[in-house]
Amino acid sequence: MLKIEDLSVRYFTKKGVVYAVDNVSLEVRKGEALALVGESGSGKSTLGFAIMRIVPPPGRIVGGRIILEGRDIMGLREEEMREIRGSKVSMVFQDPFTTLDPLRRVNDIVAEVMIEHGVDEREARERAIHLLRRVGIPEKLIDAYPHQLSGGQKQRVAIAAAIAMNPSLLIADEPTTALDVIVQRQIMDLLDEIRKEMSMILITHDIALALERADRICVMYAGKVMEVADKGMIMKEALHPYTKGLLSSLPRLLSREWPSSIPGTPPDLREPPKGCRFHPRCSKAMDICREQTPDLFSVDGRLVSCWLYGR
């Protein structure tokens, strides 16, 4: 239901142009949960913002198409885009402490989403209360201010606001990173329940979380897609060296081996490496990797951007 073609996003900062997202193509199927996995700086959050066209300045989408439910939203005017945001596509952010306006009550925040999209005020308020209950906010906190809620509760409010208009796609950008482990599980369970009604993009740096909760996994590195595959396939065997590296960095409960880390650091995206972005850190790097950027090759029902698998 979402098709991204050759999308590029750049940040035009005073210290140079950052190639945050570079020619990314991706698909999200109806009803699935796609995990966007990568380190910080991989471009995953920027991609999320780009889908909703809310990339904050000095960032800008510089090329590509985004086709949402058959419609190319790149060509839409801002008012039309605003109608879509919050109603067709929604986003839950990483830090609920800063993304909930502290000066407003939570039921107002949720109700406002609906009111802005044309719902009658009385009905919007009723639905807001209903939604807050549904996500697990206790009755007495329904008209509270954000600072009176715990981190987990704040995130629930954010989720309620995001699903208020029954969007077709929910983008969750690191929804649990700012929360503690037990709360993380609760929030993920809530998201699991919600995504039965919609498609979801889960942005995370935690590949274990992705394997646990998503249907398909898309691995990103330095602004480009490295591998896209079903969860099962990745768990059985990852193809891309980077994905392999990510998996082997997971501590294993029953194994005696120490988890290994990927040597090196992510590149400065103002001057990304020529050719394959990962080649400076790749143990399997070949000459061609240093020269040419690999396309996304289709291998065994999945996509890999690596010269090991391509021609």
Partner 1 sequence: MGLARYIGVRTLLIIPTIMILYTLVFFILRILPGNPVLAVLGTKNIPEEQLRAIMERLGLNKPIHVQYFEYLANLLRGDMGVSLVIQGRPIARDIIERLPATIELSISSIIVSLVLGVSFGYIAARRRGKIIDSSIRVLGSFLYTIFIPWFGMLLQIIFGIWLRLLPIGGRITPGIAPSGPTGFVLLDSLIQGDLYAFLDSLKYLILPSITLGIMLSGPYMRLARNNMIKALDSGFSLAYRARGIKEDKIVRYSLKHAMIPVVTYTGLQFALLLGGAVLTETTFSWPGIGTYLVEKVFYRDYPAIQAVVIVFAFFVGVISLIVDIIYAYIDPRIRY
Among 5, 39, 69, 116, binds partner 1 (CB under 8 A): 116
- CA–CA separation, 186 vs 142, rounded Å? 19
Q: Which stretch binds partner 1 (CB under 8 A): 155-163, 179-187, 285-293, 294-302?
A: 155-163
One-letter amino acid at 292 equals Q
Residue 147 in contact with partner 1, rule: CB under 8 A: yes
Q: 247-276 mask for partner 1 (x: CB under 8 A)?
A: ------------------------------
- CA–CA separation, 235 vs 211, rounded Å? 8
Nearer to partner 1, 56 or 251 (CB): 56
Burial class (CB in 10 A: 0-12, 13-18, 19+), 95: middle
Of the CA atoms within 13 Å of residue 38, those in its CB half-sphere come to 28
Nearer to partner 1, 98 or 249 (CB): 98
Q: 161-190 mask for partner 1 (x: CB under 8 A)?
A: xx----------------------------
One-letter amino acid at 64 equals G
Residue 158 in contact with partner 1, rule: CB under 8 A: yes
Q: Which stretch binds partner 1 (CB under 8 A): 65-73, 100-108, 227-235, 268-276?
A: 100-108
DSSP element (H, E) containing 83? helix 78-84
Burial class (CB in 10 A: 0-12, 13-18, 19+), 306: buried
Q: Which stretch binds partner 1 (CB under 8 A): 52-60, 127-135, 188-196, 235-243?
A: 52-60
Length, in residues, of the chain? 311
Residue 102 in contact with partner 1, rule: CB under 8 A: yes
Among 15, 56, 254, 257, binds partner 1 (CB under 8 A): 56
Q: Which stretch binds partner 1 (CB under 8 A): 96-104, 122-130, 133-141, 255-263?
A: 96-104
Nearer to partner 1, 101 or 271 (CB): 101
Task: Find the shortest distance in angstroms from Cβ 201 to partner 1.
Answer: 13
Nearer to partner 1, 11 or 93 (CB): 93
The encoded tokens of residue 172 equal: 């969750």
Residue 15 in contact with partner 1, rule: CB under 8 A: no
Burial class (CB in 10 A: 0-12, 13-18, 19+), 311: exposed
Residue for token pair 């790749």 = 282
- CA–CA separation, 54 vs 229, rounded Å? 27
Residue 82 in contact with partner 1, rule: CB under 8 A: yes
Q: Which stretch binds partner 1 (CB under 8 A): 63-71, 109-117, 202-210, 285-293?
A: 109-117
The answer to whether the CB of 135 falls within 8 A of the CB of 152 is no
3-state secondary structure of 186: helix
Residue 154 in contact with partner 1, rule: CB under 8 A: no
One-letter amino acid at 149 equals L
Residue 90 in contact with partner 1, rule: CB under 8 A: yes
- CA–CA separation, 46 vs 275, rounded Å? 22
Helix, strand, coil percentages, rounded to 5, for the chain? 35, 25, 40
Nearest Cα neighbor of 64 from 79, 53, 80 is 53
Nearer to partner 1, 155 or 243 (CB): 155
The encoded tokens of residue 107 equal: 């039921």
Task: Find the shortest distance in angstroms from Cβ 143 to partner 1.
Answer: 11
Binding site for partner 1 (CB under 8 A): 52, 54, 56, 82-87, 90-91, 93, 95, 97-104, 112-113, 116-117, 145, 147-148, 158, 161-162
